[in-house]
Amino acid sequence: MSNSLELNKVFAAILTAGITFGVAGVIGRLIVHPTMPKESAIQVGEPAPAQAVAAVAAPALEPISPLLAAANVQNGQQLAQRQCASCHSFNEGGRNGVGPNLYGIIGANHARADGFNYSAAIRGMAGKPWVYEEMNAWLANPRAYAPGNKMTYAGLASVQGRADLIAYLRSISPNAPAP
């Protein structure tokens, strides 16, 4: 009888110690956790969130219109052949490929090609015409211009290259407005 009483006391003591230890651990973690800046430190070296990158890497774009008068249409056509023709045709009535036909694109509305399956991002701009600064922003950084679009093209960083290319697009766009 007294033996089991002693045993009960021992169990009780162990139990109390265990509970105290556990509670102390939880409290300790609650207290310590918010003061530990370790979580962000662990992520050093990982890429910054995309939004942060976009915010940092999107300086105001130099306007393209003033450069068009002196732009080189020939060079723009070569750029189009090299960088765009794998996905786009440029001739009147040309077929849609991976991307839509681009004849007459300057001054035409976004998402205007019949039978082409545009992304919601571009379709959502269907009421707006492709004019010079829109085209400039799109070609500089398609992903920033229309997040979620499906044109797999990183962008043309050279402002002169974009001016030449846009001058070429204008040359094949009968309804292009004056720059």
Positions that interact with ligand HEC (CB under 6 A): 83-84, 86-88, 98-100, 102, 105, 110-113, 118-119, 121-122, 130, 139, 149-153, 156, 165
CB of 91 to ligand HEC, least distance (A): 14
In whole angstroms, give the CA distance from residue 158 to residue 122. Answer: 24
CB of 157 vs ligand HEC, minimal distance in Å: 11
Q: Tell me which amino acid residue 30 is.
A: L
Residue 4: exposed, middle, or buried by beta-carbon count in 10 A (0-12, 13-18, 19+)? exposed
In the complex, minimum distance from the CB of residue 72 to ligand HEC, in angstroms, rounded to a whole number: 15
Question: What gap in Å lies between CA 45 and CA 77, rounded to an integer?
Answer: 41
Please say which residue, 121 or 167, places its beta carbon nearer to ligand HEC.
121
Report the alpha-carbon distance of residue 135 to residue 138 in Å, rounded. Answer: 5
**Cβ closer to ligand HEC: 27 or 98?**
98
Closer residue to ligand HEC (CB): 87 or 144: 87
Compute the least distance from the CB of residue 47 to ligand HEC, in Å: 23
Nearer to ligand HEC, 83 or 171 (CB): 83
Complex with ligand HEC: residue 163 or 165, whichever CB lies closer:
165
Query: What end-to-end distance do the CA atoms of the chain give, in Å?
Result: 103
User: Rounded to whole angstroms, how far apart are CA atoms 21 and 30?
Assistant: 14
For residues 97 and 83, give the distance between their C-alpha atoms in angstroms, rounded to a whole number.
Answer: 14
Q: How far is the CB of 137 from ligand HEC (least distance, A)?
A: 11
What is the nearest approach in angstroms of ligand HEC to the Cβ of residue 26?
Answer: 51
Query: Do the beta carbons of residue 116 and residue 129 sit within 8 Å?
Result: no
| Measured distance CA(35)–CA(125) in Å, rounded | 47
Q: Among residues 3 and 117, whose Cβ is nearest to ligand HEC?
A: 117
